[in-house]
A and B are shown apart, each in its own frame.
Chain A
């Protein structure tokens, strides 16, 4: 947190003082006066200095084109048509959660005779942690950016006159409410109490800032279609983007996926003569492989990275979805 500071002058002696983001009191290093920050409802506003130039943004974007499952000829065929910086507003909050979550978990074990025994294990877990939250304070449109990833860098309002700035459109109270809710749910999951009998959690918002962050937008074409990437104006990393996929990778995926999925199902059916459960396992494994293959094939024509509203699920997200569905089924079966 101490990496962001804003330069001001002491009202008593005029000396330059540096205000650490979110702090309400500070000391003048020249006259020892105690100083107090009167902000807009306790909100500190800061802006990060843009450290990336036009060439740097284009270079980062072109480097991103060559990574992953994107079209292999993108670097050769893609044409950058527009590169410009913008300032995006973000809410940034620090929230402390203190409290207790009490409850129990059910542990099952099987004895030597194959009987399943259940044991209720009481649990009481203390939570005392700080959580950081950020979210965009405007409508990001199709930029694919919804939260801040980088929290360190030089701050300055020097670029404000030169770079177009998006205005904040979401309210402070809504941001605080979402920060509290986010901290509470993270605290709950950190406690890992599956069946809760008592929960006393106190959520204390400690710092709230409005952060203006520089982002470069790079628009490009590929075979007469428009695409876009956004580049972090402080770190130079690509934040989000859309790029064409490669038909060859899609074809290979559908061929390999259907073959492996079919093989798994066939092996399961063959092995059913040994044990009936093996057929179910084989059919399930085959079905899962086919589903993942379908998802990759279905959405492989466009590669999307970043926090887009209607972003298609990646392969890893699909696997997580399947794991979650399996857990729900397991619970229902019990």
Chain B
């Protein structure tokens, strides 16, 4: 076991932080990177807060995965496959969608809620250039784990609609990924979106 100081792969500045995070942000050259066998720079976006949001502001990291799917066959008792239909482009059952996987360490129910909400309705935002001193929640999930969980999100979207899912034969391909920091406000009732 060897311990090394994390440095920016772009400007070689040491990364200082107050919290453990799988994604390392260099505030000198605005580069986000992760380490998986070696330093890997990541494509990322930061969404702007809405003007009306008040309270403790925080950015929550998500893996946004651009996916294509093909539904080959399906069976639902007392319902139908509903949500995937909205992204279907062709009659052959294929389509594309953005799947949002929360990368912070959430309990299973919050993870599920955020993943479904932002996948069903993709967030629209103006992007900003830096975090501007606003706290970032640490990312605890790698891209590989997010890709694995994309399939889980797709089935969850369908299973939680009316009817009992019995079979869904489909393929899902992740074509690209990006880290997106979405704005939230911490209140007494928990995290509230601040887009």
Whether A11 and B4, one on each chain, are in contact in the complex, defined by CB atoms closer than 8 angstroms, is: yes
CB distance from A28 to the nearest CB of B (A): 8
**Chain B: which residue is nearest A8 at the CB level?**
B3
Supply 8 A–B pairs (Cβ within 8 Å), ascending by A.
A24-B35, A32-B17, A34-B24, A38-B4, A103-B166, A126-B156, A202-B149, A202-B151
Whether B164 and A197, one on each chain, are in contact in the complex, defined by CB atoms closer than 8 angstroms, is: no
A11-B3 in contact given A25-B20, A27-B17 (Cβ < 8 Å) = yes
Task: Label chain A's interface by main secondary structure.
Answer: strand
Asked if B124 is at the interface of the complex by the 8 Å CB criterion, the answer is: no
Whether B149 and A38, one on each chain, are in contact in the complex, defined by CB atoms closer than 8 angstroms, is: no
Chain A residues engaging chain B, CB cutoff 8 angstroms: 6, 8-12, 17, 19, 23-27, 31-40, 44-45, 98-100, 102-104, 122-124, 126, 128, 197-198, 200, 202, 204
Chain B residues engaging chain A, CB cutoff 8 angstroms: 1-6, 14-22, 24, 35, 75, 77-78, 108, 111-112, 145, 148-149, 151-152, 155-156, 159, 164-168
Which chain B residues border A128 with CB–CB below 8 Å?
A: 108, 111-112, 152
CB distance from A121 to the nearest CB of B (A): 9
Whether A102 and B3, one on each chain, are in contact in the complex, defined by CB atoms closer than 8 angstroms, is: no
Whether B148 and A202, one on each chain, are in contact in the complex, defined by CB atoms closer than 8 angstroms, is: yes
CA A200 to CA B151, docked complex, whole Å: 8
Which chain A residues border B3 with CB–CB below 8 Å?
A: 8-11, 17, 19, 35-38
CB distance from B41 to the nearest CB of A (A): 16
- When A and B form their complex, what is the total count of cross-chain residue pairs whose Cβ atoms lie within 8 Å? 117
Whether B145 and A204, one on each chain, are in contact in the complex, defined by CB atoms closer than 8 angstroms, is: yes
Whether B159 and A34, one on each chain, are in contact in the complex, defined by CB atoms closer than 8 angstroms, is: no
Whether B18 and A102, one on each chain, are in contact in the complex, defined by CB atoms closer than 8 angstroms, is: no
> Which among B1, B15, B156 is the interface contact of A34 at CB below 8 angstroms?
B15
Which chain B residues border A197 with CB–CB below 8 Å?
A: 75, 166-167
**Chain A: which residue is nearest B166 at the CB level?**
A197
Task: Label chain B's interface by main secondary structure.
Answer: mixed
CB distance from B85 to the nearest CB of A (A): 18
Whether A11 and B5, one on each chain, are in contact in the complex, defined by CB atoms closer than 8 angstroms, is: yes
A102-B148 in contact given A27-B18, A32-B18 (Cβ < 8 Å) = no
CB distance from B19 to the nearest CB of A (A): 7
CA A26 to CA B159, docked complex, whole Å: 38
CB distance from A191 to the nearest CB of B (A): 12
Residue among B3, B17, B19, B21 with the highest chain A CB neighbour number at 10 A: B3
CA A27 to CA B1, docked complex, whole Å: 16
Which chain B residues border A27 with CB–CB below 8 Å?
A: 17-20
A102-B14 in contact given A38-B2, A40-B1, A202-B151 (Cβ < 8 Å) = no
Which chain A residues border B148 with CB–CB below 8 Å?
A: 98, 202, 204
A200-B1 in contact given A27-B19, A34-B6 (Cβ < 8 Å) = no
Whether B152 and A100, one on each chain, are in contact in the complex, defined by CB atoms closer than 8 angstroms, is: yes
Whether A122 and B77, one on each chain, are in contact in the complex, defined by CB atoms closer than 8 angstroms, is: yes
Whether B5 and A98, one on each chain, are in contact in the complex, defined by CB atoms closer than 8 angstroms, is: no
CA A98 to CA B102, docked complex, whole Å: 14
**Chain B: which residue is nearest A103 at the CB level?**
B166
CB distance from A7 to the nearest CB of B (A): 11
Which chain A residues border B14 with CB–CB below 8 Å?
A: 12, 33-34
